[in-house]
Amino acid sequence: MSRRAVELLEKLIAIQSVNPHYGEEAQGEMAISRFIEAYCLQAGLRVTRQQVLDGRDNLIVELRSGHPESVLLFEAHMDTVSLGSMPRPLEPVRRDGKLYGRGACDTKGSLAAMIVALEECAAEPERLSSDLVLCASVDEEHAFRGLLKFLELDLPVAGAVVGEPTEMKIVVAHKGCVRFAVHTFGRAAHSSVPHEGENAIVAMAEIVRHISERMAPGLADIRDPLCGAATVSIGTIQGGEQINIVPERCTIRVDRRIVPGEDPEEVMAGIERELEAFCAGQGIRAEVERLLLDYALATPHDAGIVGAARAAAERLGLPGGLYGETYGSDASKLQGIKGIPSIVYGPGSIDQAHSPEEWVLVSEVEEATRFYVELARSFRA
């Protein structure tokens, strides 16, 4: 069983599934979804497609065991970030107990383990106390549109496991985010007479200073015991056309990480008010543009899925504590939008995700497969 999961992961790594958001060479999820569909059908599982975007479908894999009142959802995304500078990113290589390749830990390792776990459970469905559903989703690496589309099905899910690299720890809390752009507007002029123009970059420098010197330090007190403090990071800046023209426009894009207990809409509205007031006081012409609002995850520690996960981990000799992460996942939408108690669990470390040397421990892929099977067989709403 566990060896099958590693072999399946190698096949998934070899299929390019870069999210189209990351450039023209990206091929999206269609090829990998076709492979997974064929694999699951051969294993005797029911598979349906759910179109999310043109040429990009969620796969919904079902194993019905006669317990529609207790549905356990497994979810993992099929897309990856760009291949980047990773050498031979689509050639799975095993070395020193590690399996290298783009998506190895984020999150094809979890996906392979979940697929094989359902395959294993299908051989003995009488051992299940819940119906099982796997959603292999699209677009997690950009805007979560696959998971959001899946939620429109409104399935009666009692608990969910989202596959992400957690180093085999049970994650019940993680940060969300509020992403926004700030645009400043000036007036173009020749650089030989800059006083005749209005420099949008100079205006933006004042906003950058305000964010870094006033907004950022104040976040240290907004803290979650598992996830740490809220943060803000200015990720990009763009401005000006050429060196001899006073720039009439400048843009920054900002990532504000929220912690459990913060509402993304309220945080965004507060940022808009603060920056609008600051710019008005400084005489800066500016506009704030919302880019992405995402929930933080805060699953109650006494939720059924948490208790079942801890018991399964204990039986297998795996870590049974509860942890938080600084990154986000699809789990926060399951909980925040539909109230589905969710955990995040999977092989690999976030330190390797998106890196030039992405890898996952082979042993963790094997352990994750056993954990998913154990949880599937013991969970009941």
pLDDT tens per residue across span 189-207: 999 999 999 999 999 999 9
- Cβ proximity of 369 and 116 under 8 Å: yes
Q: What is the DSSP letter of 198?
A: B
Could you tell me where the beta strands, DSSP code E, fall in the chain?
46-53, 56-63, 71-77, 93-95, 98-100, 131-137, 157-162, 170-174, 176-185, 223-224, 228-229, 231-239, 249-258, 286-294, 297-298, 322-325, 342-344, 359-361
- Cβ proximity of 121 and 376 under 8 Å: yes
pLDDT tens per residue, range 150-187: 999 999 999 999 999 999 999 999 999 999 999 999 99
Residue-level pLDDT at 257: 98
pLDDT at 85 over 90: no
pLDDT at 2 over 90: no
The mean per-residue pLDDT over the stretch 112-122 comes to 98
Residue-range domains of the chain with CATH = 2-174+296-378 (3.40.630.10), 176-293 (3.30.70.360)
Residue-level pLDDT at 236: 98
Residue-level pLDDT at 24: 82
pLDDT at 264 over 80: yes
- State what percent of residues in the chain have pLDDT above 70: 100
Residue-level pLDDT at 84: 87
Confidence category of residue 17, pLDDT binned at 50, 70, 90: very high
Residue-level pLDDT at 367: 98
Confidence category of residue 381, pLDDT binned at 50, 70, 90: confident
pLDDT tens per residue, range 36-52: 999 999 999 999 999 99
Could you tell me the strand order of the sheet in which 359-361 lies? 93-95, 98-100, 359-361
Residue-level pLDDT at 23: 87
Q: Report the C-alpha gap between 337 and 294 in whole angstroms.
A: 10
Nearest to 173 by CA among 297, 305, 73, 86: 297
Q: Which residue has the tokens 């943060």?
A: 231
Residue-level pLDDT at 333: 96
**Residue ranges in 152-263 assigned as alpha helix (H):** 200-210
pLDDT at 267 over 90: yes
